[in-house]
Amino acid sequence: MENVDVAIVMGSDSDLPIMKDAAKVLEDMGISYEIKVLSVHRTPEKAMEYANSLKERKVKVIIGGAGGAAHLPGIFAAIVPVPVIGVPIHTKTLSGVDSLYSIVQMPSGIPVATVAINGAKNAGILAATILGTGNDEIRNKIIDYKASLADAVTKKDEKLQSIGYEKYLEEQGK
């Protein structure tokens, strides 16, 4: 395996429609990554082997998505000495609250930064921000990205002020 800056790991391929958002952010920022499906419950040996390989390959950030008993990000945080960002995945039974609690309630000494339920895009942005602390090119891309968010809000407000809320909502289909 080649060296990458970020590893995106998920417990099931059903998480991929969410986790692709982290990959897209990293692609847009020009950050190298790889993406894997590994279950710490169903394939524990493979998951541990992969976690140890990340340590050896000096991966800089891990994004771990998991639903239900969402132990994956915590296991990786326990093994690999880099920032781990957990993405709780929405579940049918408890709407992702079970995933959120499983990821955010890590024991002292094993932190996992946690984003919102299905918040893979924010996980990608956070990973880029972490990498940007030591890389001016990435840092500048984050600055530009945040400026584009501000521009979008300004344009929306200008449109709202110009056409009024009823027409604005009508155009939004709401």
What value does the mean pLDDT of the chain take? 96
CA distances in angstroms from 81 to 28, 67, 170, listed in the order given? 26, 23, 50
Kindly report, residue by residue over 24-37, the tens digit of the pLDDT.
999 999 999 999 99
Kindly report, residue by residue over 112-129, the tens digit of the pLDDT.
999 999 999 999 999 999
Domain range summary for the chain, segments of one domain joined by +: 6-134, 136-174
Assigned CATH topology for domain 6-134: Rossmann fold (3.40.50)
Q: What is the pLDDT of residue 69?
A: 85
Kindly report, residue by residue over 14-62, the tens digit of the pLDDT.
999 999 999 999 999 999 999 999 999 999 999 999 999 999 999 999 9
CA distances in angstroms from 168 to 30, 154, 155, listed in the order given? 35, 14, 12
pTM of the model: 0.94
Which of 61, 76, 73, 77 has its CA nearest to residue 29?
61
| Percent of the chain with pLDDT strictly greater than 90 | 96
- Average pLDDT value for residue range 72-90: 97
Q: Are 88 and 106 in contact (CB under 8 A)?
A: no
> Residues 25, 76, 116, CA angle at the centre, nearest 5°?
45
Q: What is the pLDDT of residue 63?
A: 98
Q: Which band of pLDDT confidence, cut at 50, 70 and 90, is reported for residue 174?
A: confident
| Percent of the chain with pLDDT strictly greater than 70 | 99
Task: Report how far residue 103's alpha carbon sits from residue 124's, in angstroms, rounded to the nearest whole number.
Answer: 17
Handedness of CA 59, 60, 64, 70 (dihedral sign): positive
Q: Are 9 and 64 in contact (CB under 8 A)?
A: yes
Q: What is the pLDDT of residue 2?
A: 84
